[in-house]
Chains A and B, each alone.
Chain A
Amino acid sequence: MYEPFHRTSDDMLAERPAPATTVGVIGWLRTNLFAGWLNTALTLVTLYILWLAIPSFIEWAFLDAQIVGDDRFACTGHGACWAWLDQRMGQFLYGFYPSDQTWRINIAFVLLFPALAPWMMENVPGDRYLRWFSVAYPVIAAILIAGGLGLEPVTTDKLGGFSLNLVVGLAGIVLSLPIGVVLALGRQSRLPLIRWFSIIFIEAVRGVPLITLLFVSNIILPIFLPPDMALDSVIRVIVMVTAFASAYMAEVIRGGLQAIPKGQYEAAQAMGLNYWKSMRLIILPQALKISIPGIVNTFIGLFKDTTLVIVIGLFDILGIANAMVSNPDWLGLSTETYVVVALFFFAVCFSMSRYSIRLERRLDTDKR
């Protein structure tokens, strides 16, 4: 049997610190690295592997590396050969763009940030003006890169390197989102013809590899068009990449539309909003918010896919890298070259995915 019992406020027990082996650094080590035999063994094995790999990598990449030189014969040591960076970085970045005009690409790149700022961040000063600026930005960038208005015209086949990836990628990203929205709405439409056209387009484009679509743009499109109507090759690529990404985007947004409770559609109708108004004001904002991870994933995929242009003969950064590796001056430096190219892509794609996580978190806290 128990004894009836009570404490007064003065008898309450105070907090005590936790046992030393469970908190602080030791506690963290015990739970995270050394919890039990299997974990301890795994930790030790991994640490050993890292201990073997990391110092030798640092030696190869930095300590023993060669940074200056005119060709690969200047790199005599065991380390990495970075001598080509100085000579070739221009090509990696701009392709065959005339080197005295590359400042135009630089300006276009710098202007990209204020153009994106009002859409990606909150409380940007001069928000309203920046939004107008971002609408005008594509035209400004096109003039800067291709010429006109007093700037020397540069044909697009001279555009290459990472700039090409950025141009194709950004154009595709900006265009695929609205087109994807239209396709997603079309797929949900009650009008059977619209619905079927949307479904056919989406399934046909999603079901084939992008490379076949690029072949279509390169080889089939000229057959479909009269001989005097030739489209610029970069434009063709942008069209295909956009079409491809739009189909995936449409599916992502369809998922977002389906996740919205039916009550939202009904409430919008009950308020007397017609189809387009209810979409624009009520449904789409919510659908887009839900779909953000999928949307950013599609963007990341689109940007990675811009490398495929090498298959139809355009020289993006990977194409330039390939050309350099087979050049007798720099033969056999494939590892160094591809690592640098990989870093370019990793930087952009990883930042995009981190941004998406932050955006999700910020929008999530809105809800709570």
Chain B
Amino acid sequence: MSNPTLNDDGDQFDVRRLLTDERSRGIVLQLAVLLAVALVIAFITANTLANLQRAGLASGFGFLTDTAFFDINQKLIDYTSQSTFGRALVVGFLNTILVSAMGIVTATLIGFTAGVLRLSRNWIISRAVTAYVEFTRNVPVLLQIIFWWATLTALPKVRDSLSIGDAAYLNNRGMRLPAPILEAGMEWVFAAVFLGIVAAIILSRWARKRQEQTGQTFPSGWAGLGLIIGLPLIVYYILGQPLEWDVPVRKRFNFDGGFNVTPELIALWLALSTYTGAFISEIVRSGILSVSRGQTEAAFALGLRPNQTMRLVIIPQALRVIIPPLTSQYLNLTKNSSLAIAIGYQDLVSIGGTILNQSGQALEVVGIWMAVYLSLSLLTSAYMNWYNKRIALVER
């Protein structure tokens, strides 16, 4: 509490006032904290320099150009054991992104479905989904990852693979799928997909204008989907089906052809999807519940049908509540993908760990990890802030 007027020393500097005057107390406190932090940093730096010198390690990121001398079994870009540490890290990063992106897509599908089903009036369905959600949420994700991996690697050996329609095979080394071989002309099919998307957008714009002017509705959603799928299909058949499949063929000890999806990737993807999906289902459910019943009643009273009510009234309001925690869950999924190291999926953390062991450059590797994940985090936060500002309901 400041008592400036009670002290009739007036302008005389009083040391005691340093602690009692609110403003100067704040400054003193901050200076103290700054001093403490500076001391700790100095202590750490001194020790670090001494320890590094003792171990004969150079600091700095020069080691990234050294040869890696280890192989990576899943690589989305070219990489051999002669490539650099730097390139190895990039491969690891891409693997992280791959499994995270796959996981986000399926987790969203699972989560939204489960969330909606849990609200169903059907007692059995809602209880069954609740059981799934409660069990998955209360068991550590690492355990789930290891469980799926153990189950997948307990599948029959390659020689006794389970076949799915003689085109795909499941065994303890993963899943063998037919690889697409793009022949000449396939690029036109891809162009047609792009054209289809553009056409769908134009169509929906035209349909909206038409509705504004004449009031008639047009199913631009279904039509757009038809364009995106139909146009490429037509081009595909006109050009004589320029797509071949390299179907895996059973040989004595292995398969010829096709490509392999490792059990590590499948296990990680399954575990992350079901685990995060359970959390997303809770977010979706509470988002839908957050829209008051009165909104639905008012819409019905105006004559809107249930699907129109969902689309025009409920979902826009529910999404406002759903999207921020949903983006958090996406970020959590990406961070949880780092548990890949426990089952040998070579993501950023796993490869970083190998590099750390081989080169001893612990600080730099850990620094790279932090930088990558922090950037993803901050990007997500920035997006969420932008989104929240943009769609905030305008109030008094």
Q: Say whether A associates with B.
A: yes
**A contacts, CB < 8 Å to B:** 31-33, 35, 39, 42-43, 46-47, 50, 190-194, 197, 203-204, 206-212, 215-216, 219-220, 222-227, 274, 300, 304-308, 310-311, 318, 322, 325, 332, 334-335, 338, 341-342, 345-346, 349-350, 353
Residue numbers in A under 8 Å from B121 (CB-CB): 31-32, 35, 39
Tell me if B139 is interfacial: C-beta within 8 Å of chain A: yes
A residues in contact with B122, CB < 8 Å: 32-33, 35, 39, 42-43
For B373, the closest partner residue in chain A by CB is A208
Q: Are A193 and B33 within 8 A (Cβ)? A: yes
Residue pair A304, B139 in contact (C-beta under 8 Å): yes
Q: Which residues of B contact A194 (CB under 8 A)?
A: 29-30, 33
Q: Mark B6-45, 1 if CB is under 8 A from A, else 0.
A: 0000000000000000000010011001100100000010
Task: Indicate which residue in B147, B349, B374 contacts A334 across the interface (CB closer than 8 Å).
Answer: B147
| Interface SS majority for chain A | helix
* CA gap between A192 and B30 in the complex, in Å: 8
User: What's the least CB distance linking A277 to chain B, in Å?
Assistant: 11
Return chain A residues, CB-CB under 8 Å to B33.
Answer: 193-194, 197
Interface residues in B, total, Cβ within 8 A: 55
The 4 closest A-B pairs by CB, nearest first: A207-B377, A334-B150, A349-B138, A193-B30
Most A Cβ at <10 Å: residue of B124, B154, B339, B378: B124
Contact A224/B139 with A39-B122, A194-B29 known, Cβ cut-off 8 Å: no
Which of A42, A193, A345 has the most chain B CB atoms inside 10 A of its CB?
A193
Whether B366 contacts A318 by the Cβ 8 Å rule is no
Contact A304 B370 (CB under 8 A): no
Tell me which residues across on chain B come within 8 A of A191, comparing CB atoms.
26, 29-30
* Residues of A contacting B356 in the complex (Cβ-Cβ under 8 angstroms): 215, 219
Task: List, in ascending order, chain A residues with CB within 8 A of B141's CB.
Answer: 304
A317 to B50, CA, bound (A): 38
Please measure, in the bound complex, the distance between the C-alpha atom of A192 and the C-alpha atom of B23, giving whole angstroms: 12
Q: How far is B138's CA from A346's CA once the two chains are assembled, in angstroms?
A: 5
Question: With A211-B338, A311-B341, A311-B342 in contact, do A193 and B143 touch (Cβ < 8 Å)?
Answer: no
With contacts A194-B33, A311-B341 taken as known, whether A224 is within 8 angstroms of B125 at the C-beta atoms is no
Beyond A219-B356, A224-B47, 7 additional pairs, beta carbon < 8 A: A33-B122, A211-B349, A223-B48, A223-B51, A306-B140, A334-B150, A342-B139
Taking each of A47, A50, A207, which has the highest tally of chain B beta carbons within 10 Å of its own beta carbon? Answer: A207
- Please state if B47 and A207 are interface contacts (CB–CB under 8 Å): no
* B135: interface (CB < 8 Å): yes
- CB pair A207–B143 under 8 Å, yes or no, is no
Bound Cα distance A43, B33 (Å)? 63
| B178 at the binding interface (Cβ < 8 Å) | no
Task: Given A223-B48, A332-B154, answer yes or no on A338-B378 (Cβ-Cβ < 8 Å).
Answer: no
* Interfacial chain B residues near A350, Cβ < 8 Å: 134, 138
A220 touches B362 (CB 8 A): yes
B313 CB to nearest chain A CB (Å):
22
Contact of B143 among A47, A219, A341 (CB under 8 A): A341
In this complex, the member of B37, B47, B140, B150 whose beta carbon has the largest number of chain A beta carbons within 10 angstroms is B140
Which residues of B sit under 8 angstroms from A50, Cβ to Cβ?
A: 128
Q: What is the minimal beta-carbon distance from B1 to any residue of chain A, in angstroms? A: 7
Q: Does the CB pair B147–A345 fall under 8 Å?
A: no
- Docked-complex contact A211 and B341, CB < 8 angstroms: yes
17 A-B pairs in the complex with CB atoms less than 8 angstroms apart: A35-B122, A191-B26, A193-B33, A194-B30, A194-B33, A207-B376, A207-B378, A209-B349, A212-B338, A215-B369, A220-B362, A220-B366, A226-B50, A304-B139, A306-B140, A308-B142, A335-B147
